Structure 1
Amino acid sequence: MGEKIAVIGGLGTLSGGDLFFKLLKNKRVLKNQLDYHFIFEQQPYSQINLPLHQEEDIKSRKFYSYNICKNFEQRGITKILLPCFASHSFLDELQKEIAIPIVNIFIAIAKYVKTRFPVGTRIGIMTSDYVKQKMMLEKYFSYYELIYPAEQTKLMEAIYGKYGIKNGYLEGIPLEYINEICKELISNKCDVILPGITELSLLIEPLRRRGIPILDVNQIYADYALENSSGKIERPFKLGILGGVGPSATVDFMNKIIKNTPAKKDQDHIKMVVEQNPQIPDRTANLVNKETDPTVAMFSTCKRLEAEGADTIAIPCNTAHAFVGSIQEYLKIPIINMLTTTAEYIVKRFGKSTKVGLLATSGTVQSGVYHDVFIAAGVTVIIPDTIHQQLVMESIYGEKGVKAGQINGICGRQILAVADHLIGLGAKVIILGCTELPLLFPSEEQIYIDNRAIQLVDPTGVLAKKIVAMAKDFSNKV
């Protein structure tokens, strides 16, 4: 598969175009044109003609760059070029939020210089006030002696002035100013001139004709991007949650992930993106009464989570898992099956011989999703009779049920009555197979009925622990 390389234009209109042209005329590209797809995107940018001197300028560049990078994510781009030295000051911040590798211009130039100039070489630097003050070049060229011009004001005028390079003036005063600065640096025994402003690549030819030993940083950047693989992006695990099925259960699930994460500070917690979509048609109503199919709504929600860069999707709704099979094959990322995860947990903790009582909606029961999973695991599932199943539904959907925001009172007593019924049928473990039901037992792993201790299994709690473990494995692999 060929490379699909994108250039962020607009941070320096002419320099961005110059970089794009130098990508196109690279010999590797000309010989293998079918292997490369190039994209250049420039959007209106309010700060385009301003010199970098305020943090507000950098903030606007951050937002501008982020928006374009997010557009690139949807287009299958393999790497991004950011032709602006100052904008690389926030490269690490940007890369954490973008799934595509952004090629570092400083690394590209440092590698080029290292192979051609010995340690200790005096390098003349022409760069913006911002890059100079931030000492950005010193980080990558610590083994060289960097010399800055005395005429920094003249340099800024040549770039940003009314008749400066950014405004399209490549001859006359800007060229003469830059030529004078280069001569000053050479008189200070600099062996080579390194521009730290990408617009200066537009003056390479006339300066070289005058005998100035100046590097073409745009050409170096283009060649490096084409010759080097992107490598892995160090980024945190990101969980997508299909929420709103139901709303309280979603919040409860997120809280369980937080509680099970061994974090010492905020940044240690798992990154989550939630699509809280309570308008997804009721899953039980579809399965029992053939009402509106929720599949399309669930699928579109999953696609939005996928577009947001989620590595995997969790659905804190038992009944919704009846539709997972028809959705998964059309997604690029996996849905972690809560039911399968729960079955694995029960077999590991209680053994296959344990009889499991299921408290779930009628839709979940009738769909047979739990039965299919547990039969495959060799575990026997016991369900309530018709009368007791009606009590389960009342405790969930009734006027004083959990979905109505009630977690005390009659809904809890109804569930205990059904649990007692299941125990009488031989259940040793009770699955709280509707994500609202754990809200009735927020801190209990077992209940006592007639002095008998019965284990409760909360699928959302089991899934939360699974997600935490996945995030840890993901971090170790990255």
Structure 2
Amino acid sequence: MRKIGLIGGMSWVSTASYYTRINSIVQKRLGGFSSAHMLIESVNFSDYARLQSNDDWEAAAGLMTRAAKRLEQSGATAILICSNAMHKIYDQVQPEVGVPILHIADCVGDRMVTDGVKTATLIGSRNVMTEGFYRKRLVGKGISLTPPDEERVEEIDRIIYEELMFNQSKRESERTMKTYITNIAKGDVEAVVLGSTELDLIIDTKANILPIYDSTEIHADAAIEWILADG
């Protein structure tokens, strides 16, 4: 098994989902008492949140680069940043380490291409929905994305940062997301992308009118394939 490194704590809630999914599937595939050979660099997200609110992404990239280097020095052969929003600084971090950082949007996009999906709506935190760093990765794979809806942007961002990152799954927010997805399905799209690693806490990805591409599951699955690949 190849060792993989996770930069987690962004949030700790979703990091637990990564850990659970990776280990449960590795155990199923290898059998017995098998579990993944994995390192976790769990950061204090309050440091990143402060820099994010100050729009100091250079300092945030410095923090994440140091985290990535610690994982590499400890033997990780590939790294995952367990956050969609923090891939804003991916391009500053990847060149600073000698192992690949598996980009979450590339993993999602590759899965959609395999499935033949051409149109989708992206939902997640504000910067994921509105900025180019994430959307361009999907568009670059031939996937057309609907424009962000400002009302949805504000409410989904609030739900993520005020509820889900504190492991709070409120019924009202579940209903809100179900309504959003129902309305999205009325448009000319084939799928919804969950561009937040916490949204699966309140969205049943298997019981919706449209296919749901859950970035957490897909990113974790890419880690599994890396761990179990030969060489």
**Distance of aligned partners of 1:201 and 1:156 in 2 relative to their CA distance in 1, 3 Å threshold:** same
CA contact (8 A) 1:50 1:160 kept: no
Q: Which amino acid aligns with 1:222?
A: A
CA contact (8 A) 2:48 2:60 kept: no
CA contact (8 A) 2:24 2:35 kept: no
- Structure 2 CA distance, aligned partners of 1:224 and 1:156? 26
TM-score (norm 2): 0.83
Which of 118, 131, 136 is the equivalent residue of 1:139?
136
Matches within 5 A, 1:280-359: none
**Distance of aligned partners of 1:42 and 1:71 in 2 relative to their CA distance in 1, 3 Å threshold:** same
Q: Which amino acid aligns with 2:160?
A: I
Q: Which amino acid aligns with 1:215?
A: Y
Q: Which amino acid aligns with 1:44?
A: N
Which of 218, 221, 226 is the equivalent residue of 1:220?
218
Alignment of 1:156 with 2:154, yes or no, is no
Residue aligning to 2:39: 39
CA contact (8 A) 1:165 1:199 kept: yes
TM-score (norm 1): 0.43
Q: Which amino acid aligns with 1:155?
A: I
RMSD of aligned Cα (Å): 2.8
Alignment of 1:78 with 2:114, yes or no, is no
Cα drift, residue 105 of structure 1: 0.9
**Distance of aligned partners of 1:48 and 1:13 in 2 relative to their CA distance in 1, 3 Å threshold:** farther
- Structure 1 CA distance, aligned partners of 2:168 and 2:81? 23
Residue aligning to 1:178: 177
**Distance of aligned partners of 1:209 and 1:177 in 2 relative to their CA distance in 1, 3 Å threshold:** same
Structure 1, unaligned runs of 5 or more: 230-478
CA contact (8 A) 2:78 2:101 kept: yes
Residues 262-285 of structure 1, C-alpha deviation per residue, up to 9 Å, x if partnerless? xxxxxxxxxxxxxxxxxxxxxxxx
Alignment of 1:165 with 2:149, yes or no, is no
Question: What SS does the corresponding residue of 2:115 show, helix, strand or coil?
Answer: coil
Matches within 5 A, 1:347-386: none
**Distance of aligned partners of 1:17 and 1:198 in 2 relative to their CA distance in 1, 3 Å threshold:** same
- Structure 1 CA distance, aligned partners of 2:160 and 2:195? 12
User: More helix by proportion, 1 or 2?
Assistant: 2
Structure 2, unaligned runs of 5 or more: none
- Structure 1 CA distance, aligned partners of 2:209 and 2:193? 15
Where relative contact order (Cα < 8 A, 6+ residues apart) is larger, the structure is: 2
Cα drift, residue 39 of structure 1: 2.0
- Structure 1 CA distance, aligned partners of 2:169 and 2:225? 30
Residues 244-276 of structure 1, C-alpha deviation per residue, up to 9 Å, x if partnerless? xxxxxxxxxxxxxxxxxxxxxxxxxxxxxxxxx
Q: Which amino acid aligns with 2:184?
A: L
Q: Which has the larger radius of gyration?
A: 1
Residues 2-37 of structure 1, C-alpha deviation per residue, up to 9 Å, x if partnerless? 2111211112221121112111122x4433265841
- Structure 1 CA distance, aligned partners of 2:38 and 2:10? 18
Cα drift, residue 75 of structure 1: 1.4
What's the % identity of the aligned pairs? 21
CA contact (8 A) 1:83 1:198 kept: yes
Q: Which amino acid aligns with 2:158?
A: E
CA contact (8 A) 1:6 1:40 kept: yes
Q: Which amino acid aligns with 1:178?
A: M
Q: Report the count of equivalent residues.
A: 223
